[in-house]
Chain A
Amino acid sequence: MIGRLSARYGPPAAAFAVFLLAWEAVVRLARLPPYVLPAPSLVATTLIADRATLFASLWVTLRTTFAALGLAIVGGSLLAILFSQWKWLERALLPFAVVLQVTPIIAIAPLLLIYLPAWGAVLSCAFFVAFFPILANFSLGLASTDRNLLDLFALYGASRRQTLVMLRLPAALPYFFAGLRIGAGLALIGAVAAELAAGASGQETGLAFRIVEAGYRLDIPRMFAALVLISLAGIAIYFSLSALAHLVLRHWHESGGV
């Protein structure tokens, strides 16, 4: 077990450690000033020193991300289920979803900021980007149910509801998780992008605003520290969702949920 884990995670961890050490060495040997490139050690100390502000901002950003993701899961899944039951509804509504998807969210944000309070605009942006991959993947999953299994259900006189609950929904789960993983990552990106667009107009300030703010003050180490937090949050979300998918799908196949 330990051997397998170290074989799997050893190389990337070692590569990352080497990367950090090289970075640290370059900064020290070349005597680069912190406003050009801060050493990883300085980024770490800044992260600790400014933890009160930074973590409060992280919490704001994460709250937006999770709220948007939650709404996207509910909205995307419900719509996907409705689409799978009534094809005409899909034909009627899919164009709207596609328009929302292909328009860069950062271009819609200023408009949303006019119509909505800052928190609402940020939440909407994060929601829009997370919504589509969940809808699209889940829809695909609901539409690609094994034909033979559908025949089997028809043979036994299964009702529409039985077919949906006992066959189509579970069969679409791997697709749902694939969409969820993409959607969650995009929700974080959408939240950060919308925060950048919103600037200081909100009362609560997310991590993106901290980056802009530190930029104005040429506080480069703090910019890096905020960036590190965003990346870590993204990685944590990705891996926890992968773990969840694996847990739910582990019986299907060896490759379940990876």
Chain B
Amino acid sequence: MSDAVVVLKDVGKTFANGTRSLAHLNLAVQAGELVTLLGPSGCGKSTTLRLLAGLETPSSGTVAVPARKPGQVGFVFQDPTLLPWATVADNVLLPLRLQKMQAAEARRRCTDVMRLVGLADFARAYPHQLSGGMRMRVSIARALAPRPRLLLMDEPFAALDEISRFRINDDLLRLKKELKTTIVFVTHSVYESVYLASRIAIMAVRPGRVTEEIAIDPPLPRGADLRTSAAFLGYCDRAMRALGRAAAEDRR
């Protein structure tokens, strides 16, 4: 367990207005994993990520994120959340500037990550000149620029069409391999979840908690026909059944 990047123990979160968002949530994420949080709307996926980022504090239980120093945790929101008045490069540079990184070093990092996400030619463009998918890439580049140990992603591709989504999913897996970042990824989509994850955490609603975990082990062989392979569909089936069980538990 020494390699744990995230340990959530018996975490509860009740908001000031009385909404019980999470209760008795347990989850541990090891270095190098890509864990997807899969669950129905309102089960507290976003709340969990915000707890991990330190943007919220738990009402009960403990949230341990040893890496949590500014710059060590990246967050990609559902919307690209870019500064509309700043160029793509300035947006990517933002976290580095906030950390007061030396300008030359920051520029170099910026160029690197922009190449990594395939935006090298758009450094001087403004966000409104880009497509939705490209804006999301900028957001990812910005999160990667400080070289975070932990990357939190909240339904980042929900607004994209299937084709862009498949492509950006592949890119994400490639980036993860190159940068060796640990990722916690929130999604509604069973397919996306299976495609990306090394482990899936199934969540139930009211109150939000993790009901089951599905390890994708051994890793699925990446390739063009993965999405139609029997192994892939088998995992999708398992994930869907687990979601069904979580929903049934909710009804009881």
Q: Give A contacts to B, CB under 8 Å.
A: 146, 148-149, 151-158, 162, 166-167, 170-171, 173, 249, 251-254
Contacts and interface: CB of A to CB of B under 8 A. Distances in A.
Contacts of A153: 98
Contact of A252 (B54, B71, B128): B128
23 contacts: A146-B81, A149-B81, A151-B53, A151-B55, A151-B77, A153-B98, A155-B53, A155-B55, A156-B71, A156-B95, A156-B98, A156-B146, A157-B70, A157-B71, A162-B98, A166-B94, A170-B83, A170-B85, A171-B85, A173-B85, A251-B85, A251-B128, A253-B84
Given A157-B70, A162-B98, A254-B128, A152 B84 contact: no
Given A156-B95, A162-B98, 10 more contacts: A148-B77, A148-B79, A151-B75, A152-B94, A154-B55, A155-B73, A167-B83, A251-B128, A253-B84, A254-B128
B83 A156 contact: no
A156 B70 contact: yes
Nearest to B129: A251
B99 interface: yes
A207 B188 CA distance: 67
B99 A252 contact: no
B232 interface: no
A158 B98 contact: yes
B126 interface: yes
Contact of A152 (B71, B75, B97): B75
Interface residues of B, number: 22
A136 B126 CA distance: 29
Nearest to A250: B126
A176 to B, nearest CB: 13
A155 B50 CA distance: 10
B128 A155 contact: no
Interface in B44-84: 50, 53-55, 70-71, 73, 75, 77, 79, 81, 83-84
A235 B50 CA distance: 50
Contacts of B84: 251-253
Nearest to B53: A155
B95 A149 contact: no
